[in-house]
Amino acid sequence: MPIAEIQTIDELISYLSGSFRFCDLKYCDLIGRWHHITVPTSGAGLESLRTGIGFDGSSVPGFTRLERGDMILRPDPGTAFIDPFYEEPTLSVICDCLLCDTNEPFERDPRHIARKAEAFLRGFGEADEAFWLPELEFNVVSGASYYDESYGSGYTLRAMGSRSVLSSLGEEGIDLGLGPKAGYHALPPMDQLAQLRTEMVKSMEDAGISVRYHHHEVGADGQVEIECLFSTLQKTADNILTAKYLIRNIARESGHVAVFLPKPFFGEAGNGMHFHQYLRKGGEPVFYQEGNYADLSDVALHYIGGILRHGRSLLAFTNPSTNSYKRLVPGYEAPTNLFFSSGNRSAAIRIPLYANTPETKCMEFRPGDATMNPYLAMAAMLMAGLDGIKNKIDPTAEGFGPIDLNITKMSPQELSKITPVPKDLDEALQAVEDDHDYLLAGGVFPEDSIDVWVNHKLENDVKALGRRTHPYEVALYFDL
């Protein structure tokens, strides 16, 4: 049986028993990190896949309390892929998280929330399927180190490809370096990472992830992009975590480091994770209507209206790190205001000009980045859009555009009429506390998941960073 046809536990066990020594079970915590446990296929190992593997949920960020820690991992057979990073033949499978006493889905399992969002859409009426295309932007560096101690903190990223960095390091071949913001679609030998990206894409395709293309991005410091093809919500989220796993390990094997931070380098373009998205009903696209603005249907416009109305709270999930807001600053094509436009890359929502047929018509949400938990972020975007459809939110009437101008040339008075994105994570978390009823519709997001998310991010990100001395503070104030 081809691996792509595995659908049941019995088929998974049969496939494993033939050629594999181990099965690696991967699962996602609330914050968006993968964890894993490895099961041998000998002895009782295979049968344990049928009954589920116990684990301590109280040790997983955002999961259960210590006194209710016992949980179960249940493999999702349709997610299996051959793991290329083990010496012994190993099959990786993504798992769902279940309650130990009832075998019911754990309500805060991110995959379960994504699955509930898709189920909510199927019963919605105006559409029954959502499709997503993510752009994976990241930097490849030749070395990375960081430390956080009571006596000091700091980090070093050894950038690749930047002419100024190569020159300062005294490396040979500095004439091949790229100038600031000059990396977009650079050709080898200026693009030093083309072969490495090819290896990454081959590994992604071997794991069942369809890729549209890859290229060097604007940043001279080894910034690259791999763009996937459209898939369904949960499958896309699975693909994102699988791709990040593959990309990081292939980079490591080649002596490099893949960095998905939104803003790793001051003065260079940051890394986003843009999401192209559209809806279907009965297999037919519903975002196209000739004659409307950008040939968008009323359903599409209302979907956009919902995302923009809830945009400030959405960023608590799509941009959930303090570093996210270092990227969302003027001058680097990152959106700083909530509006929509056709072909305008400063817009939070861009309507691609090339998407000009009923089958290709889509919208692109541009603020997000790879520090998100993709299950939660996409579920939240979908719920915001569906709220817009349900309430017929007109983005123009709400003041969200369209704006087909270069907003950097607008006057302060004109800019003041446009809703800005949150200036930092603290502001985004306050926004989702104030505006999250749309996430609770249909029981998609459990209300306690909002509280857990906000409290975790406040304590472990916002407040934790605020209590620490920043290296730049030392540079600013050391001699005062």
Element (H, E) at 94: strand 90-99
Check 274, 310, 312, 327 and give the catalytic one.
274
Check 76, 129, 135, 191 and give the catalytic one.
135
Task: Number of helices (H) and strands (E) in the chain: give both, helices first.
Answer: 16, 18
Continuous H helices in 3-154:
9-19, 45-51, 110-122
Instruction: Give yes or no: 36 in active site.
Output: no
Instruction: Give yes or no: 217 in active site.
Output: yes
Instruction: Give yes or no: 274 in active site.
Output: yes
Instruction: Give yes or no: 115 in active site.
Output: no
Check 364, 369, 426, 461 and give the catalytic one.
364
Kindly give, in sequence order, each residue whose CB lies less than 8 Å from that of residue 375, ignoring residues fewer than 6 positions away. Answer: 28, 32, 110, 111, 113, 114, 234, 237
- Is 322 strand, coil or helix? coil
Give the separation between CA 14 and CA 4, rounded to whole angstroms: 14
> Tell me, what DSSP letter sits at residue 459?
I
Asked whether the beta carbons of 32 and 371 are under 8 A apart, the reply is yes
Q: How far is CA 443 from CA 107, 119, 250, 318, 449, in A?
A: 10, 11, 39, 20, 11
* Omega of the bond leading into 402 within 30 degrees of 0 (cis): yes
Q: How far is CA 129 from CA 66, 117, 121, 292, 424, in A?
A: 38, 10, 7, 23, 33
Instruction: Give yes or no: 225 in active site.
Output: yes
Instruction: Give yes or no: 107 in active site.
Output: no
Instruction: Give yes or no: 33 in active site.
Output: no
What number of CA atoms fall less than 13 Å from residue 294's CA on the CB side? Answer: 26
Check 129, 225, 268, 387 and give the catalytic one.
225
Instruction: Give yes or no: 364 in active site.
Output: yes
Check 96, 137, 295, 387 and give the catalytic one.
137
Give the separation between CA 341 and CA 449, rounded to whole angstroms: 33
Check 96, 129, 217, 387 and give the catalytic one.
217
Alpha-carbon radius of gyration of the chain: 23
User: In b/e form, how buried is each residue of 312-347, taking b as 16+ CB within 10 angstroms?
Assistant: bbbbbbbbbbbbbbbbbeeebebbbbbbbbbebebb
Check 50, 185, 212, 345 and give the catalytic one.
345
- Is 145 strand, coil or helix? strand
Instruction: Give yes or no: 473 in active site.
Output: no
Point out the residues that are catalytic: 56, 135, 137, 217, 225, 274, 345, 364, 366
